[in-house]
């Protein structure tokens, strides 16, 4: 799975980072940011492949999302599977950390009311998958690894409905642009990406 994530912007994040550094505290005690990114990519690639082979079971709720994140990142970060405790941004600020639980609860209640998208035709399924991917991205509940976690979550949701969502061939710039547009409540570009990557099992 491609890593479409770029660097976050933050100020004085002493909670997650080593002193006087932007490098996240990690189980390997790697203090070089680029080295950590390389190790993280290698480990999460293996973990993501495991999930693609044997999906994380859950009910498409907060617990399910946390379980995916923990599986991906527990070898690297002690806080894997836990919501962030600081505010972060990438150009625009993501959801303030104190509102993450409520925002995710409301989003997953909306998904539940839609019967987890089980009654939709392919075109509408792509549109709603794009919506939920965009909303998860706007909330950005974890300190690191949000993109990888939310894409697996959406891929599992597609799988639940009898479809394969293969994002491996999506251009990184297109995904980033679509994510930015989704942040502005324009889900069209993300819908196009998902529609072109979705096929019946």
Tell me the percentage of the chain whose pLDDT exceeds 90: 85
Per-residue pLDDT tens digits for 175-190? 999 999 999 999 999 9
Contacts 24+ apart (CB under 8 A), 116-122: 116/60, 116/157, 116/160, 116/161, 117/157, 117/161, 118/160, 118/161, 120/161, 122/163, 122/195, 122/198, 122/200
DSSP label at 123? H
Per-residue pLDDT tens digits for 134-160? 999 999 999 999 999 999 999 999 999
Q: Is the pLDDT of residue 108 over 60?
A: yes
Average pLDDT, the chain: 93
Confidence category of residue 116, pLDDT binned at 50, 70, 90:
very high
Going from the N-terminus, what domains does the chain have, and what CATH number goes with each? Answer: 33-200 (1.10.3290.10)
Per-residue pLDDT tens digits for 56-73? 999 999 999 999 999 999
Query: What does the pLDDT read at residue 10?
Result: 55
Query: What does the pLDDT read at residue 193?
Result: 97
Q: Is the pLDDT of residue 30 over 90?
A: yes
Nearest to 2 by CA among 170, 132, 164, 134: 170
Query: What does the pLDDT read at residue 40?
Result: 97
Token digits of residue 91: 């150009």
Contact 73, 143 (CB under 8 A): no
3-state helix vs strand vs coil in the chain, percent to 5:
55, 5, 40
Q: Is the pLDDT of residue 11 over 90?
A: no
Residue 171 Cα distances to 80, 139, 168, 177, 193, angstroms: 27, 23, 8, 10, 10
Nearest to 155 by CA among 146, 169, 143, 167: 167
Query: What does the pLDDT read at residue 33?
Result: 93
């Amino acid at each position: 799975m491609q890593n479409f994530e770029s660097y976050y912007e933050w100020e004085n994040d002493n909670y997650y980072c080593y002193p006087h550094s932007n490098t996240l505290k990690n189980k390997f005690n790697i203090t070089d940011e680029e080295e950590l990114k390389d190790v993280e990519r290698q480990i999460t690639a293996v973990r993501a492949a495991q999930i693609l082979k044997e999906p994380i079971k859950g009910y498409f709720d907060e617990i399910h999302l946390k379980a995916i994140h923990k599986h991906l990142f527990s070898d690297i970060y002690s806080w894997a599977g836990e919501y962030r405790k600081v505010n972060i941004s990438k150009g625009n600020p993501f959801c303030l950390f104190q509102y993450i639980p409520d925002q995710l609860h409301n989003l997953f209640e909306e998904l539940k009311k839609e019967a987890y998208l089980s009654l939709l035709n392919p075109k509408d399924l792509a549109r709603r998958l794009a919506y939920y991917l965009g909303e998860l991205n706007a909330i950005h509940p974890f300190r690191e690894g949000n993109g990888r976690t939310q894409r697996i979550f959406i891929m599992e949701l597609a799988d639940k409905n009898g479809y394969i969502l293969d994002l491996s061939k999506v251009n990184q710039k297109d995904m980033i642009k679509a994510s930015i547009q989704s942040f502005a409540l324009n889900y069209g570009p993300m819908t196009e990406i998902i529609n072109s990557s979705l096929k019946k099992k």
